[in-house]
Structure 1
Amino acid sequence: MGKNSQALSFNYKALEIYQKTFSPNHPVLATVYNNIGRVYQDKGINSEALSFFEKALEIREKTLPSYHLDLAKSYNNIASVHYHIGNYTKALSFLERALDISQRLLPTNHPHLQYVRTGIEMVKEKL
């Protein structure tokens, strides 16, 4: 079994346990959905990745404050999928949201800020 397949298997097992243990909007479910999305993205299955990233975002938007780094991570992940499937306008919108949150919470020299800014530059080159 390849590493991605094994990661999916473990994450789906975790999801099954957590769905029985926690409420449907518990943040731990958002983390598992995000992890599953990352594996699908690594496998190049963008539609599945996007679906799981959106599930994670839905929970995070309901349970976290408006300016939380986990929201920025979700926006960044969704932007990445949109970039890879050629939806550059959507990618830019999500990256701008990620940057807004990150700028409010991180020091100005934090590497994540440069990462998001570089993503924005890459998207703008495609528009």
Structure 2
Amino acid sequence: MGEYSKALEFYEKSLRIREISLPLNHPDLAGSYLCFASCYEKMGDYTAALNALQSAYKIQQKTFQGGNQAFASTFNRKALPEKHPHLAITYSNIGDVHRLM
């Protein structure tokens, strides 16, 4: 069995640093929330997992909406389309959480 409470402690530290140093809609923030969701799911706290997934989804939805040129230039690559695969993964994870509730 994993040390989930310890993992959550470090995920929280990571998220706080990212919130200070990155733009509010940076994909790394969504990544932090996905880590929380995974940990909460393994702990059986499906409500907390769903909340974390929804936070990740909101960031990804804003970040990956079609043609976001500011995001694209920041990372020196093309803007990602509205139906980016990361959004599909988030939808799938939210579905899994609902299924397990």
Instruction: State the TM-score, normalizing by the size of structure 1.
Output: 0.62
Counterpart for residue 114 of structure 1: 88
Q: Residue 7 of structure 2: which of 49, 63, 68 is its match?
A: 49
Displacement, 1:45?
A: 2.9
Structure 2 gaps, min length 5: 65-80
Structure 1 gaps, min length 5: 1-42
Task: Determine the C-alpha separation between the residues in 2 that align with 1:122 and 1:108.
Answer: 22
Counterpart for residue 74 of structure 1: 32
Counterpart for residue 14 of structure 1: none
Task: Determine the C-alpha separation between the residues in 2 that align with 1:50 and 1:115.
Answer: 21
Q: Let me know the Cα RMSD of the aligned residues.
A: 1.4
Task: Determine the C-alpha separation between the residues in 2 that align with 1:118 and 1:44.
Answer: 24
Greater radius of gyration (CA): 1
Displacement, 1:90?
A: 0.7
Q: Which moved more, 1:89-98 or 1:48-57?
A: 48-57
Give aligned-pair identity as a percent.
44
Tell me which of the two structures has the higher relative contact order, counting C-alpha pairs closer than 8 angstroms and 6 or more residues apart.
Answer: 2
Instruction: State the TM-score, normalizing by the size of structure 2.
Output: 0.76
- Aligned pair count? 85
